[in-house]
Amino acid sequence: MAYQVGVHRVVGRWEVTRRTVFYVILVGYSIITAIPFLWALSTSFKTEAEASRFIPTGLPVHPTLSAWNGPNGVFSADFPHYFFNSAVVAVIVTVGNLLFDSLAGYAFARMRFPGRNVLFFMVLGTMMVPVAMTLVPVFVILTKLGWINTYQGLTVPFMVSAFGIFLMRQFFQSIPIEIEEAARIDGLSRFGMYWRLALPLSRPALATLAVLTFQGSWDSFMMPSFIASSNSMATLPVGLQRFSFQYLTLWPQVMAGSMVVIIPILIIYIFAQRFFVEGMSSGAVKG
Amino acid sequence: METIQRSESGMPAPVGARGLVPRMPRLWGRSRHQAYKREDVVMGYLFVLFPFVIFLTFSIAGMLFDFWVSFHSWNVIDTPVSVGSANYNYIFRQDPVFWTAVENTVQYSVIVVFFQTIIAFTLALIVNQNIRGRTFFRTTFYFPSVTSSVAISLLFLYLFNNLGLINYVLSDVGITGPNWLGDPAFALKSIMGLNIWTTTGTLMVIFLAALQDVPRDTLEAAAIDGATGAQAVWRVVVPQIRPAIFFVVATGIIGTLQVFDQAFIMSQGSGGPENSTMTAVLYIYNMAFANGYYGVAAAASFTLFVVIFAATLLIRWLLREG
């Protein structure tokens, strides 16, 4: 990256080389990023014999749907059921976070009550607790409640997040307070100000929170793996893990199952990528 | 401080202060000039009620409970029996697997954080130039980190298997690839590769956001002063994006010390071969759910908490101002 200022022609040639090297690196890294996905997609249309060959075929030589709808294929196994469970859980968790994180975020941003700041620091403090520390307690509490293998067990503990509360509080603080003072004169209650003023103004923050929460819940594995100990309650990652431990050598089926988990998030990502990126970098730089 | 406190109490803040100045609210007490409004107090507690029930039950009580369980022998069904420090004694003195897990996890954390930070920073520097297709590259690099860790691990299990694509490519250039996941010398390294591949894109986005706040003329001034590119990066860019570096390294260490999904999937839950992919959280998980020794699992998880807490303080100290 070093270059000398002064001799024009040298700078020009160096600049061309420099830019070429940059593009080679970026394109190369893009290929490294894309290949595992493309390889898995292609494999899901191969026969088991073709997928296990050492000298691989790029595109399937004899394309087949048997990994998808054949015997042991993902459509014939329990995958549609796992998909349903994942969708129910992710939607409930997302709606819960939108409601509860924004309520708490609004209270911390705008309302004054004794102990508010202590409570807010407690919220931030829970971010320091490693998930591994709550494995045993969550299992025990859910067992005592009789919530193992239920939708309540898979959703209620995850319906609020410290990150979400923090994100919403930051956003609510950026709304000019004068708007609320005008609304107060018009006779709007506190709940009215939250519901009819602050929430509609917070669509970008709510969209970010929704997208990140949905993705987190959809991909989540460790907690659901013991909360859903029976296959009938398994979410997609849990079901996929159990399927793969049982049929590891059925590569086309395992790859097809992986695609079932990845593709819905890919679709959301394509349409909402700016919310993913904004959420990540806002949490990073300010947090 | 004065302006911050005034706007906290609902008085109009000076233009420009709101939203830009990070507020450090006071822990106790109230502003002198304004009494609490009854509606705000009642509604405020109502608004935070549900989150606090959840946090108190699953996070805060959970943590204290975990600490308590770590001094008991318990299988969840029978009454817990107090055993003093026996669980800690077991993991520190009697079970060599715990030390293997700690060693693996620390090694994993150091190597993964080092490479993912360097690669992400380099990519961010490049993308931050006047590069065409910047959005495309950013979108592509970021994608792996939003996908399911289980699915990604299976993709890599297929790539890394003895007859997989990676060994085929190696054989093409005349190298006989190892049995990546079957060989204790390579299994953990394969998982490190997977993790670096997954996380680098996220970190690049964070670095990119931070780099865009570095004024362009600072860089140009450095170049005119005769600083070479590398020196300019080290002396001018790095100090300016110190908060982003702290965030990336700290979250990287906290995250990698808790690696579980990838090790669980790629070793079929066993942490093998020969415990070479046994990580701290996998040890805790198996102690609890495979063996039913909840007390031992709790002791191990409390130890992990202390390590993570210490690591965070250490990084903060290393990257302190000045």
A222-260 pLDDT per residue, tens? 999 999 999 999 999 999 999 999 987 899 999 999 999
Say whether both A147 and A48 belong to one domain.
no
**Has residue A128 been placed in a domain?**
yes
Whether A160 has a pLDDT exceeding 70, the answer reads yes
Say whether both A48 and A91 belong to one domain.
no
CB atoms within 10 A of CB B251: 20
Say whether both A247 and A275 belong to one domain.
yes
The count of structural domains within chain A is 2
The pLDDT value recorded for residue A285 is 42
**Has residue A74 been placed in a domain?**
no
Say whether both A127 and A208 belong to one domain.
yes
The pLDDT value recorded for residue B27 is 56
Residues of A in Cβ contact (< 8 Å) with B312: 128
Domain ranges of chain B: 1-35, 90-318
Provide mean pLDDT across the span B227-252: 83
- B125-152: per-residue pLDDT in tens? 888 887 888 889 988 999 999 999 999 9
A128: domain CATH number is 1.10.3720.10
What's chain B's length in residues? 322
Whether B6 has a pLDDT exceeding 50, the answer reads no
Cα radius of gyration rounded to whole Å, chain A: 25
Say whether both A48 and A128 belong to one domain.
no
Q: At what angle do helices A116-126 and A162-173 cross, to 10 degrees?
A: 130
**Has residue A23 been placed in a domain?**
yes
B134: Cβ contacts below 8 Å, ≥ 6 apart:
B127
Give the type of residue at B18. R
Provide mean pLDDT across the span A168-172: 93
The pLDDT value recorded for residue B18 is 33
Q: Are A107 and B43 an interchain contact pair (Cβ–Cβ within 8 Å)?
A: yes
**Has residue A164 been placed in a domain?**
yes
Domain B90-318 has CATH 1.10.3720.10: yes
- B218-236: per-residue pLDDT in tens? 777 766 776 677 777 788 8
Confidence label for A10 from pLDDT (cuts 50, 70 and 90) = low
**Has residue A233 been placed in a domain?**
yes
The pLDDT value recorded for residue B4 is 32
Q: Over chain A, what is the mean pLDDT?
A: 88
Q: Are A156 and B265 an interchain contact pair (Cβ–Cβ within 8 Å)?
A: no
**Has residue A204 been placed in a domain?**
yes
Q: At what angle do helices A251-286 and B242-256 cross, to 10 degrees?
A: 140
A33 interface with B at CB cutoff 8 Å: yes
B42-57 b/e (C-beta count within 10 Å ≥ 16 → b)? ebbbebbebbbebbeb
Domain hosting A112: range is 79-286
Say whether both A269 and A238 belong to one domain.
yes
Q: How many CB pairs under 8 A join A and B?
A: 310
Nearest CA in chain B to A269: B143
- B96-120: per-residue pLDDT in tens? 999 999 999 999 999 999 999 999 9
Q: Which of the listed residues A49, A68, A87 is the one where a domain comes to its end?
A: A68
Q: Over chain B, what is the mean pLDDT?
A: 84
Q: Which of the listed residues A68, A89, A120 is the one where a domain comes to its end?
A: A68
Instruction: Give CA separation, A283 vs A212, A218, A222, A279, A280, in Å.
Output: 12, 21, 24, 6, 5
- B164-191: per-residue pLDDT in tens? 899 999 998 988 889 999 999 999 999 9
Q: Cis before residue B14, ω within 30 degrees of 0?
A: no
Closest CA–CA distance from residue B148 to any residue of chain A (Å) = 4
Rounded to the nearest 10 degrees, how much is the dihedral formed by the CA atoms of B308, B67, B51, A279? Answer: 10
A211 interface with B at CB cutoff 8 Å: no
The pLDDT value recorded for residue A62 is 87
Q: What is the ipTM of this complex?
A: 0.90
A280 interface with B at CB cutoff 8 Å: yes
Give the whole-number percent of chain A exceeding pLDDT 70.
Answer: 93
**Has residue A93 been placed in a domain?**
yes
Provide mean pLDDT across the span B47-57: 92
Confidence label for B28 from pLDDT (cuts 50, 70 and 90) = low
Say whether both A282 and A226 belong to one domain.
yes
